[in-house]
Structure 1
Amino acid sequence: MTEFILQLAGRIRDITRMDGVSGGEHSGSVQKVLRRPSCLQESSPVSRHRLAHDDQRAALLHRISSTKMTGTDREPEDGGNLPTEVENVARKELREDPNTRKQALRLMREWLAKNRDISNCRTDSNFLLRFLRVKKFSVPMAQQTLLKYLNFRQTFSHLLMRLDPLDPVVEGLIRSGYIFVSPYRDALGRRVVIYITRMLDPQVHTAAHMCQAHMLTYETLLEEDKNQVMGVCHVADLRQLPLSTVTLWDPNEFSTIVKWGEQSVPMRHKEIHFLNVPTPLRYVYDFACSRISEKMKNRFVLHNSLDQLHNRIDTCVLPKEYGGTMPMTEMIELWLGEVTAKRERLLGLDNIQLLSTDGIISRKKKYPQDHKSNITSLTGSFRKLEVD
């Protein structure tokens, strides 16, 4: 793995040396990494988005190189590092603007400083904003989501902690193509997570390996503010998924993971596409649907063929094997570079501890009278953000 990182870093340096160069011919290796898909023409809106994305992708690769694979790149204290087009989406869909962002972050930090139920919590803007954004800047709801997220991780610590991209089994699972993220964004600016589920071997992999590969992927995506705002698209090919995969899970544990995952992981899942769902596994699909919200269920789409998928997904974000332009092995290599760059932060999540679940509000658990007053006060403070 060390040799792979060094090779990737060298490749990235070759790419970043091209920054600022225009009109010249690039080398074949650079073209392979930053090629512009032939299906996009310069004059189309999608192509203009993709050209902008190529610049963003080069910047990402530069960050991977410059941080020497540590994932410690700095960010503005108030999270105000969004491109203009992303700021516009944040304002329209999430009620986010510089003033709201600044004051909401202050409220979250003040709450964490006084909260005795949480220890060693990250207070950087990137971490706190993922909870604020997923709840459209309702501070009390963001606080509840943070508490549920920590409880989710600790309750299922055997599945969701120790997210190490250098773990041989987990790294091998990603390298096989079981789960990875396309280096291209779609026309709406979203990263696309791709799952080739037949790459999972029930004789080798466990439910823990599956969960760690998934959470490692999602946590890495959340480390980029743009992904928090624009959301994520999912494409899963279930063809030839071994039926024995189902036996890796305890039914009750699987049910809780699905339900709590939606409520606790601060991601904006915009579309979830399933390709080639085997008939025997339809009951698993139906069961999973019964455990999620109607809102999420409405974002599930089943496809029986690649043609159907191509009618809904920009083919250029897919691997070459699925009608795109970049071979899957190259996409996986780039994704491994991204997750390895964030290794320090991924492992650092284990330092955050939830000492008590008393502050978590559920439908079966009513607000204590003093807690109600605190929530009302915070909500009132939040509402003032729009008029101050």
Structure 2
Amino acid sequence: MHYLKRRRSPQRNVVTWFQRTNQTAPSLLPEVPQGSHHRSHPMDPLASPAHGWFPAPPPPIYCCTLTPALVAKAREELQEKPEWRLRDVQALRDMILKEQPNLRTRLDDAFLLRFLRARKFDYDRALELLLNYHAGRKAWPEVFQDLKPSTVKHVLDLGFLSVLPHPDPSGRYILCLQPGKWKPNDYPFVDNVRALYLTLEKLIQPEDTQVNGIVILADYTGVGMSQASNPGPFLAKKVVSILQDGFPIRIKAVNIINEPRIFKGIFAIIKPFLKEKMAERYVLHGSDVRSLHRNIPPTVLPGQYGGSAAHLDMSAWSRMLLDCEEEFIVEFCQPDPLEGVVLPEDMLLEGEAGGGPEEDPFRAVRSQLYYCY
């Protein structure tokens, strides 16, 4: 049975990836006692700036922060049993040490729990997701090299993305995207992806998000041919692959509002890369805010979407990320985690055929976009 398959006998022989690779940990990281199965989180949450509306990072040593209601939800939806939680984490940790001994990855409980929850505590699928998580960085260096908030401040200041300050009644934070604010002549599309990834990294820290997932609200006001055709199918496939198969977050719904006629062409580019379950979670509302309110209640939406919440301060999320600059430096500005690691041939984004920065983004989609436009 699958339930029995995932409960492998854990072993208690664990060291950090710094110790396994005989490297000296960067000075920003705290020391970890030899043989300890806990690796501290890179940042001390008490040292992080306080933002009252968004939870702080998890504590260095794991301590469950879920409410009783969320513990019950995790048990029902994610097959997470509190009494076995740390045993499951240890089992995944042992798999990593045994099957990928050269992988440089965090091994602390809080980090590994993200991957277990995203794959409903299936050890094998959680390990595959973790490898995809790191493989995505290797396959797309222009996104992940020197990835920190200060390098995408122009995207954050523009208001391309933000996070609504209040979650919906299901406890899901709402990631708000406004692609019409981006103009291809201003900066490369890949900068938007960098800002999006940093946002997801911050959103996934709280255990509430790991259990509840997130909702995306994409406002396509102002999107025209230049924005629609610029990424091209190759980049679209990379973005979708990372979100679906390379990041430990549950995207529960994607609400599209104010989409122009050209969106049919945009979605035609994206849909072939979406899994059926994810494609079904796309909801197109047009300009009908009443339709939007059936999916996201007006109490959490700002006035521009017919809601009763306060006006959306687009700079709030920018400040949140910029205040966490050091945290992201520790997380991303380190040696290649996959150096010396042999990945399966079918690993995410490895050996992608065709395409590249020099490919014509209009090829294969130009006629369809113009038809819709």
For Structure 1 versus Structure 2, the TM-score category normalised by the shorter chain is 0.7 to 0.9
**TM-score scaled by structure 1?**
0.70
Please say if 1:349 is aligned against 2:344. Answer: no
Distance 1:72 1:239 in 2: 33
CA distances 1:187-243 after superposition (whole Å, capped 9, x unpaired): 101000011221112111212211111101111101111111110001111121132
Q: Which amino acid aligns with 2:86?
A: K
Identity %, equivalent residues:
25
Where is the helix percentage greater, Structure 1 or Structure 2? 1
Distance 2:239 2:296 in 1: 28
Distance 1:250 1:287, change over 3 A: closer
Q: Is the 8 A contact 2:104 2:338 kept in 1?
A: no
Report the CA distance between 1:120 and its aligned residue. Answer: 3.1
Please say if 1:239 is aligned against 2:221. Answer: yes
Aligned to 1:86: 70
Distance 1:177 1:159 in 2: 19
Partner SS state of residue 353, structure 1: coil
Count of matched residue pairs: 298
Q: Is the 8 A contact 1:237 1:274 kept in 2?
A: yes
Distance 1:120 1:355, change over 3 A: same
After the TM superposition, which residues 1-388 of structure 1 pair with which residues of structure 2 at under 5 Å, given as runs? 67-68=48-49, 73-75=57-59, 77-116=61-100, 118-167=102-151, 170-305=152-287, 306-324=289-307, 325-329=309-313, 332-350=314-332, 351=334, 353-355=337-339, 358-360=342-344, 362=346
Report the CA distance between 1:262 and its aligned residue. Answer: 1.0
CA distances 1:36-67 after superposition (whole Å, capped 9, x unpaired): xxxxxxxxxxxxxxxxxxxxxxxxxxx98852
Distance 1:265 1:199 in 2: 26
Q: Is the 8 A contact 1:160 1:208 kept in 2?
A: no
Partner SS state of residue 279, structure 1: coil
Q: Is the 8 A contact 1:228 1:267 kept in 2?
A: yes
Q: Is the 8 A contact 2:173 2:209 kept in 1?
A: yes
Report the CA distance between 1:80 and its aligned residue. Answer: 1.8
Partner SS state of residue 262, structure 2: helix
Distance 1:319 1:172, change over 3 A: farther
**TM-score scaled by structure 2?**
0.73
Question: Structure 2 stretches of 5 or more lacking a match?
Answer: 1-43, 349-373
Partner SS state of residue 273, structure 1: strand
Q: Is the 8 A contact 1:190 1:227 kept in 2?
A: yes
Distance 1:68 1:194, change over 3 A: closer
Question: Structure 1 stretches of 5 or more lacking a match?
Answer: 1-62, 365-388
Distance 2:225 2:46 in 1: 41
Distance 1:186 1:204, change over 3 A: same
* Highest RCO, 1 vs 2 (Cα 8 Å, sep ≥ 6): 1
Distance 1:166 1:363 in 2: 31
